[in-house]
Chain A
């Protein structure tokens, strides 16, 4: 896979990762990001993914991956086993987000968290004008079948960092195109105009 094939949000995450580092992908899917990091930045990669078919895809790519639940699997790693723990677009599906962040901060020196921004204008408009639970390109599910049980905005995450006790080291508010391979940074009113937020977090 060529670097330009990587999804735009993953490209940003990838740009933050130091070469030769140890990286854990939480809910790593088919392993696109880990594969890219392994090839281009020579990282030592590990992934955790619950779906068997995706695990097989990772292993076919040569990615080291464990099939299992991310909370359960993280428990076995020693403290600071990784340089980075990446939780890309999974936070909104986690039952106990603060436990997840705590675990990430225990086993890795830094964490990367990304999620769809529930403060985006389309979400607000959808609710305001239809009076129904928002369904957007980034959050495409109906209220009754969504895996996204923790909808949050960029501002919510900032506030969460104070409550849970981690530092935001870097952040990127982005807006992606339909294919998600391209996008741009949002600097003007990011909580209103960014579709996704990406945060590099560290220990306090």
Chain B
């Protein structure tokens, strides 16, 4: 979920892309949310790469994770130093080949990269929503994506692909709109947060809310709760790594010094790394968005919502072909959680493939260059498109 990690720029690029906006739910036709509140108008930022074929049968919807955005691949400007967050996977000849497929990626509702979220202007007050923004769920994210897909006059999705919170959206889509989805790839994800995952999110949220600048969520005209958000991100990063990856990457190495200096600055490299990640994050992310999206992830419970507690029931209407991928060192959404999902899919007689990729980089592994994942996705998409 770290997104925008440093990445290798190998293979072709989709080139220049543009962020587009879709506005719907104009008052009085507000979007009803699962929290029983409603909101409108709703703006969804999205980007596309590749070409939609005349049959409209080559659509791939990429669902981003907690802190991602619609900028999945390519560059906004030739001078940009970094491409989109999954440029290693999406592009000509890459795992998700834009010479073949039409890729859509939209920013989730509640986020802060162009879609309506707590930092958007509330038409009733002409000020930012702040914590007046209604609570959202993974289901609400999917509803807005469905509205976008309808707006683009697309009737069928060849494949849904997403990791982490993006993977939750993949699962929610397949359960909500089983007739629209031909295939699905949930990566490094879960059907419900464990107490451990909720616990980390709660500590991160508390860090934000304890920042005096947070001001009950109404900080947009003054100083922002940067310290709180940076700490929240640092906590997040610990969960995205693993014991092994931290040992290999940092160990007990010191930062810019040869001996301990007995001070509270960043003496160890791991401290410096986390601080750097925190500081980078506050430049691009809104603290309230962090609160709302982590809550949405904590609320997600596929079996509870769709199967009266049974995952088998929850999946009973699914028709998609699935490829479930987990990572050996992911301790945020460990393999056993993917296996439970796969088990329920088998019992529902679904066409499911499962692969546990041996990777030391923890939860974040799905965003790192990995030939194995490229080949898995490429092969799976090929077979999914032959069958349509």
Binding site for B on A (CB under 8 A): 44, 46, 52, 55-56, 58-68, 73, 76-78, 81
Contacts and interface: CB of A to CB of B under 8 A. Distances in A.
Given A73-B346, A78-B349, 10 more contacts: A56-B355, A59-B355, A59-B380, A64-B352, A65-B354, A66-B346, A67-B355, A68-B339, A68-B354, A77-B346
A46 B350 CA distance: 10
A40 to B, nearest CB: 15
B354 A61 contact: no
A125 to B, nearest CB: 42
Contact of A76 (B346, B351, B375): B346
B356 interface: yes
B98 to A, nearest CB: 20
Nearest to A74: B346
A66 B358 contact: no
Interface string B188-199: 000000000000
A64 B345 CA distance: 13
Interface in B356-388: 356-358, 372, 375-376, 378-380, 382-383, 386
B343 A76 contact: yes
A52 B349 contact: no
Contacts, number: 61
B118 to A, nearest CB: 40
B31 to A, nearest CB: 37
Interface of B: 321, 323, 339, 342-343, 346-347, 349, 351-358, 372, 375-376, 378-380, 382-383, 386
A44 B386 CA distance: 14
Contacts of A44: 351
A60 B321 CA distance: 15
Contact of B347 (A46, A60, A76): A76
Contact of B353 (A65, A73, A76, A77): A65
A52 to B, nearest CB: 6
A22 B323 CA distance: 19
Contact of A52 (B352, B356, B378): B356
B351 A64 contact: yes
Nearest to A73: B346
Given A76-B343, A77-B346, A78-B349, A67 B356 contact: yes
